[in-house]
Amino acid sequence: MNLIKNLYIHERFYKYISIIAATFLVSFWFPILYSVAWFLVTILAVLFVSDIYLLFKSKNGINARRLLTKKFSNSDENPIPITVKNNYKFKIEVKLIDELPPQFQKRDFEQVSFINPSEIWEFEYAVKPVERGEYYFGNLNVYVSTFLRIVSRRFKFQENEMVAVYPSYIQMKKYEFLAMSNRLTEFGLKKIRKIGHTLEFEQIKNYIAGDDVRTINWKATAKRSQLMVNQYQDEKSQPIYSIIDLGRVMKMPFEELKLLDYAINSTLAFSNIALRKNDKAGLLTFSKKVDTIVAASNKKTHLNTINEALYNISTQHTDSDFGYLYALIKRKVTQRSLLILYTNFEHISSLKRQIPFLKAIAKYHLLVVVFFENTELDVLINENAEDLQSIYHKTIAEKFAYEKRLIVKELEGKGIYGILTKPQNLTVNVINKYLEFKAKGFI
């Protein structure tokens, strides 16, 4: 029974059949070939049985393994290593088909290789998820053929494995590394001169690559015979909240990723930087009501708390209630804080409906409203208009782009900071604004 379930005909077998069929056909005109055709049938039958015997005489002809991490990073390339070992005593042809999760919409994944006896074949491929959630991998199917390549035997490994896709921790680690090694400018992060002195001495520690050479403590260096540096920290740990709008305006996709997921990835990376700068990071999500509240803290495990909260949020199909948001902030966030509000306004009229609530929030907190450029309009704006319809489309696109700039001006006129950004530049621009406020002593 097991043999029948795992036995498959190799593609080359059909070539052999077509040759025999052609021989039988030609034998109508050349009868001498009739005996040749039956001889070929006999040979093929013997080879067929021999191939089955060679493949199925060993119970564990091969071993294969798919190495999955517990988590995938959303919107990033996640490598998946594969290892296949040949336990047969002869060279085999291997066709590997991995059953990818349905979210990837890929049904033609296939890798083919020849493996010598006792040899290990290693390779890896990458997947790029664009949604958070649980991804289930099906079977790792390996089809093995001998040098005869008449039949194939299927081996199945690692059925129904689950990987959780979390907000982009790869992006978070990238910005953390750049921040700690003073290389933020490589990704467009501005180097801002610090105004005043808002640091206090914390400890003397060993010098590591990336530390500011101006903080070297020469007395301690001479005493210990190795480079030592003074480490400073901000005098106060300020509360910083990332506020994410879960309304329908955040469902809009750009480059396969929703605006919500751009905001989530940015929140994780930004919260990590804030914690590294000794500030307290918090999270608040809302739509018609407040969905999630994570109080600002700088505990060592707090970033994981924020990450778990971000993993479970999703957009809703209603307009968000900024009045409810204001009431909740007034009740729950009692200390003056930096509030990074991720939302989206397509028209200035939609902003004006929310301005009274935003002004009320900005009266007690340092509020930054983050919203998005429609990058798809850039194509229409930059193309040459050669007919009346193209002129019309270009004019409308320019009008929408102009309205976005008007929204920034409107916010500034009300004493509210605004960031208009392309989705792919979101994290860079938010961290820039945060570092700017730190340098100017606003927080």
Bigger pLDDT: 356 vs 195: 356
Q: How confident is the model at residue 195 (pLDDT cuts 50, 70, 90)?
A: very low
Same-domain check for residues 285 and 399? yes
Share of the chain above pLDDT 70, in %: 88
Same-domain check for residues 381 and 403? yes
Residue 136 belongs to some domain of the structure: yes
Tokens of residue 322, six digits = 């900024």
In terms of Cα–Cα distance, which of 17, 431, 11 is closest to 242?
431
Residue 220 belongs to some domain of the structure: no
Same-domain check for residues 143 and 178? no
- Within 13 A of 355's CA, how many CA atoms are on the CB side? 16
Same-domain check for residues 192 and 126? no
CB under 8 Å to 17, separation ≥6 — which residues?
44
Residue 206 belongs to some domain of the structure: no
CB under 8 Å to 349, separation ≥6 — which residues?
none
Q: Determine the pLDDT at residue 391.
A: 66
| Confidence check: pLDDT of 48 > 70 | yes
What's 4's domain CATH number?
A: 2.60.40.10
Residue 360 belongs to some domain of the structure: yes
Last residue of a domain, one of 166, 185, 215: 166
Tokens of residue 340, six digits = 């990074």
CA 391 to chain centre: 38
Instruction: Tell me the mean pLDDT in the region 69-90.
Output: 94
SS3 308: helix
One DSSP character per residue, 73-122 reads ETTS-EEEEEEEEE-SSS-EEEEEEE---GGG------EEEEE-TT-EEE
Same-domain check for residues 155 and 247? no
Q: What are phi and psi of 167, to 5 degrees?
A: -50, 155
Same-domain check for residues 147 and 2? yes
Instruction: Tell me the mean pLDDT in the region 128-152.
Output: 93
Helix H or strand E segment including 172: helix 169-180
Q: Determine the pLDDT at residue 380.
A: 65
Same-domain check for residues 362 and 275? yes
Residue 214 belongs to some domain of the structure: no
Tokens of residue 184, six digits = 């933020």
Residue 207 belongs to some domain of the structure: no
Same-domain check for residues 328 and 249? yes
Residue 225 belongs to some domain of the structure: no
What's 411's domain CATH number?
A: 3.40.50.410
Quick one: DSSP state of residue 421? E
Quick one: DSSP state of residue 320? -
Same-domain check for residues 243 and 345? yes
Q: Find tokens 């429609």 and name the residue.
A: 374
Q: Find tokens 């740990």 and name the residue.
A: 237
415-441 pLDDT, tens digit each: 899 999 988 899 989 998 998 888 777
Same-domain check for residues 158 and 272? no
Task: Report the range out of 182-186, 194-198, 322-326 with the highest average pLDDT.
Answer: 322-326
Tokens of residue 196, six digits = 């005043």
Same-domain check for residues 140 and 181? no
CB under 8 Å to 330, separation ≥6 — which residues?
360, 364
Domain total of the chain: 2
Radius of gyration, alpha carbons of the chain: 31
Same-domain check for residues 158 and 240? no
Q: Find tokens 């517990």 and name the residue.
A: 70
| Confidence check: pLDDT of 1 > 70 | no
% helix / strand / coil in the chain, to the nearest 5? 40, 30, 30
b (16+ CB within 10 A) / e for 181-200: eeebeeeebeeeeeeeeeee
SS3 390: helix
State the CB neighbour count (10 A cutoff) for residue 171. 19
Rounded to an integer, what distance in angstroms lies between the CA atom of residue 351 and that of residue 224? Answer: 60
Instruction: Tell me the mean pLDDT in the region 317-333.
Output: 90
Contact between 237 and 336 under an 8 Å Cβ cutoff? The reply is no
Q: How confident is the model at residue 228 (pLDDT cuts 50, 70, 90)?
A: confident
CA 150 to chain centre: 42
Q: Determine the pLDDT at residue 199.
A: 56
| Confidence check: pLDDT of 392 > 70 | no
| Confidence check: pLDDT of 234 > 60 | no
Q: Which domain covers residue 67, as residue numbers?
A: 1-166
Rounded to an integer, what distance in angstroms lies between the CA atom of residue 143 and that of residue 170? Answer: 34
Residue 210 belongs to some domain of the structure: no
Helix H or strand E segment including 431: helix 426-440
State the CB neighbour count (10 A cutoff) for residue 79. 10
Helices (H), 244-364: 259-276, 302-311, 322-332, 348-362
- Angular region, 381: left φ>0, alpha ψ -120 to 50, beta rest: alpha
